[in-house]
Chain A
Amino acid sequence: MDFGRISRRHLLQGGAALTLGTALGGRSAFAADTTIGFIYVGSRDDYGYNQAHAAGAAVLKKMPGLKVVEEEKVPETDAVEKTMESMINLDGASLLFPTSFGYYNPHMIKMANKFPKLRFEHCGGLWTDKDPKNAGSYFGYIDEAQFISGIVAGHTSKTSKLGFVAAKPIPQVLRNINAFTLGAKLANPKATTQVIFTGDWSMPVKEAEATNSLIDQGVDVLTCHVDGPKTMVENAARRGAMVCGYHVNQSALAPKAYLTGAEWNWEALYPKFIKMIAAGEAIPNFYRGGFKEEIVKQSPYGEAVSAEARKHADEMKAKLIAGTYTIFKGPIMDNKGKTVITAGTDRGQKDPELEKMDYLVEGVIGATS
Chain B
Amino acid sequence: MADGTIGLWTVPLAVLGGAIRVSTPFLFVSLGECITERSGRINLGLEGTLVMGAMSAYGISYLTGSPWLGVLAAGVTGALLGALHAGICSLPRVNDIAVGIALMLFGTGLAFYLGKPLIEPTAARLPAIDFGWWSDIAQVRAALRINVLFLIGIALAPILYWAFKTTRWGLLIRTAGESADAARAMGYSVLSIRLRATMVGGFLAGIGGSFLSLFYPGSWNEGLSSGQGITAVALVIFARWDPLLCMWASLAFGGAAALGPALQSVGVTSGYHLFNAAPYILTLAIMIITCSPKRTLTGAPAELSITK
Contact = CB atoms under 8 A, between A and B. Distances in A.
A245 to B, nearest CB: 14
B307 interface: no
B223 A204 contact: yes
Contacts of B276: 198-199, 206
Interface in B223-266: 223-224, 226, 228, 257-258, 260-262, 264-266
B49 to A, nearest CB: 18
Interface stretch (B162-170, B175-183, B212-220): B212-220
Given A218-B3, A253-B122, A206 B219 contact: no
B5 A217 contact: yes
Contacts of B293: none
A188 interface: no
Given A45-B120, A204-B226, A216-B14, A231 B261 contact: no
A24 interface: no
Nearest to B262: A213
B95 interface: no
Nearest to B260: A206
Contact of B221 (A198, A204, A216, A366): A204
Given A45-B116, A209-B18, A212-B142, A204 B217 contact: yes
B142 A216 contact: yes
B5 A218 contact: yes
A367 B273 CA distance: 12
A142 to B, nearest CB: 22
A326 B122 CA distance: 39
A207 interface: yes
A137 to B, nearest CB: 27
Contact of A239 (B13, B22, B142, B265): B142
B272 interface: yes
A198 B261 CA distance: 7
Nearest to A368: B269
B217 A207 contact: yes
A191 interface: no
Contacts of A365: 267
B265 A194 contact: yes
A13 interface: no
Interface residues on A, range: 35 or more
Contact of B265 (A43, A45, A208, A216): A216
Contacts of A208: 21, 216-218
A365 B122 CA distance: 33
B92 interface: no
A215 B261 contact: no
B270 interface: yes
Interface string A347-368: 0000000000000000001110
Contacts of B272: 197, 199
Contacts of B219: 204, 230-231, 234
B258 A213 contact: yes
Contacts of B139: 215-216
Interface string B56-81: 00000000000000000000000000
Contacts of A45: 116-117, 119-120
A228 interface: yes
A288 to B, nearest CB: 29
Contacts of A78: none
Contacts of A203: 223, 226
A205 B24 CA distance: 12
Given A216-B139, A216-B265, A47 B4 contact: no
Interface of A: 42-43, 45-47, 159, 194-199, 202-210, 212-218, 227-228, 230-231, 234-235, 238-239, 252-253, 365-367, 369
Given A202-B223, A206-B261, 14 more contacts: A43-B112, A159-B4, A204-B219, A204-B224, A205-B228, A205-B257, A213-B264, A216-B13, A216-B262, A217-B10, A217-B266, A218-B4, A231-B221, A239-B142
Interface of B: 3-6, 10, 13-14, 17-18, 21-22, 112, 116-117, 119-120, 122, 139, 142-143, 216-219, 221-224, 226, 228, 257-258, 260-262, 264-267, 269-270, 272-273, 276
Closest 4 CB pairs of A and B: A202-B223, A367-B269, A213-B265, A208-B217
